Structure 1
Amino acid sequence: MAIAKLELGPGDVLVVQSKNRVPQDVLDRIKTYVEPQLPHGVKILVIDPSVTLSSDYNRHREPDVMSDLINRAREFARAKHAEQLRNYTGLPYFTHLEEVAGLVERAGLSEFAVAAAWLHDSVEDTDTTVAEVTSLFGMAVAILVNVLTDTPPAEGLNRDRRKAMDRARLAIAPWEAQGIKCADLVSNTSTIVKHDPGFAKRYLPEKRAILEVLTRAPPALRDPAWASLIDAERQLEAPPDAPSR
């Protein structure tokens, strides 16, 4: 099991992520015997790959932060990414978030997932913290954003090692997190060969390795992600003057 601490101080939440479904009797024992041993006010939340946050975790919804969740997440993301532009096209970075959230919403994922799609780069690319996401948008959204945040550069962590850590985390992520990642790959892969074929030679194998572990993502998102990747790989392999498909 992998444990991520989402918040510091009173009201801490320990998220325990398991690669296998956790039996109810184990959950009961955690609540009965483990949680009371933690500092006062600290809660444990156990998630496994079968979790659907919109149904399994409704009991964790805070009414005061859940009203108009998706609209609030969109406007928060708009403000946080206001000065950022997309690589190559120079379009506002917000257009990437809009594309990812639109794909996730049309695929029928939960309101938590749509909100997390708007916020999926907020911790990675702005000064937003997971604790802030938890406070403003609730635990379920924060779990998804936390899972989707790439491992940051650090001493002793080269790109290959960081990407391996990302794959290991995503491989046991809830299915909705995997779905959001697929939508992110669709958005990022579509023009990479056209604008930067040199980087595409490194980027596309990394994306293929990630897609291979996203086995629980819904087909409505996983299939377009694979199609986008395969099309990009064909473009990269084609002669320079060959028309793209």
Structure 2
Amino acid sequence: MIKIILVYNKVARGEDMEILLKARDLAKNAHNGQKRKISGKPYFTHVENVAAILKQSGFPDSVVAAGYLHDVIEDTDVSQEDIREIFGEEILQLVLHNTENKDLEWEQRKQATILKAQESSFEIKALIAADKLDNSQDLLNFHQKYGDKVWEFFNRGYEKQAWYYKELTEALFKNVNETEIPDFFHILRSNVENLFCQKEM
């Protein structure tokens, strides 16, 4: 990781390189070797999907870059200081708002994320929503393949996952003008309803 940071520090000092290319390349290198929980696909496919959702919805480059970087502090050796030095304070704060404190219990971490989703800026809400949209789409696809056995892939099963996704999704819609909500928020809500609500009817 030190080699990666040295390269990007050189870029940040003056060589012209688009912010999205920097973010994409750093994320690809940082997540190298990591796999998705169920599919086993390279983890980078997830962060690339998140960035694509944000870009296609018209969010500025800073938010799209945070989409690429949203898991690097939580899941790799990249530090807060690395992100600040390479990308600046604005992008660092976006990433930090999507970074969980792994020292806390799962329930505490998820409750903190729900609170952030309710109270944070529209850009942070969008980042959280894009992340969960890609996750929920994976869950739907694998639920079709494995049925309820899909929940066995998680340390917290169906009930806890249902609580988290439903509470988080509703929190994302709070304190936002309905006319400003992107389509992918509604797709996320539909995915969550399909995953968790039908079983409880």
Taking structure 1 as the reference length, what is the TM-score of the superposition? 0.65
* Structure with the largest fraction of strand: 1
**Take 1:83 and 1:146, find their aligned partners in 2: how far apart are those partners?**
23
Cα shift at 1:164: 1.6
Partner of 2:7: none
Taking structure 2 as the reference length, what is the TM-score of the superposition? 0.78
Task: Flag structure 2 segments of 5+ consecutive residues without an equivalent.
Answer: 1-11
RMSD: 2.3
Task: Flag structure 1 segments of 5+ consecutive residues without an equivalent.
Answer: 1-61, 239-245
Partner of 2:41: 91
Partner of 2:81: 131
Greater Cα offset, 164-173 or 202-211? 164-173
**Take 1:133 and 1:83, find their aligned partners in 2: how far apart are those partners?**
21
Q: Give the number of aligned pairs.
A: 174
- The within-5 A match list for 1:1-245 is 64=14, 67-153=17-103, 157-192=104-139, 194=143, 195=146, 196-198=150-152, 199-215=157-173, 216=176, 218-234=181-197, 236=199
Cα shift at 1:237: 5.3
What SS does the corresponding residue of 2:97 show, helix, strand or coil?
Answer: helix
Is this contact kept in 2: 1:77–1:118, CA < 8 A? yes
What SS does the corresponding residue of 1:190 show, helix, strand or coil?
Answer: helix
What SS does the corresponding residue of 1:214 show, helix, strand or coil?
Answer: helix
Percent pairwise identity: 25
What SS does the corresponding residue of 1:213 show, helix, strand or coil?
Answer: helix
**Take 1:122 and 1:72, find their aligned partners in 2: how far apart are those partners?**
13
* Structure with the largest fraction of helix: 2
Aligned partner letter, 2:162: L
**Take 2:188 and 2:13, find their aligned partners in 1: how far apart are those partners?**
34
Aligned partner letter, 1:214: L
Is the radius of gyration larger for structure 1 or structure 2? 1
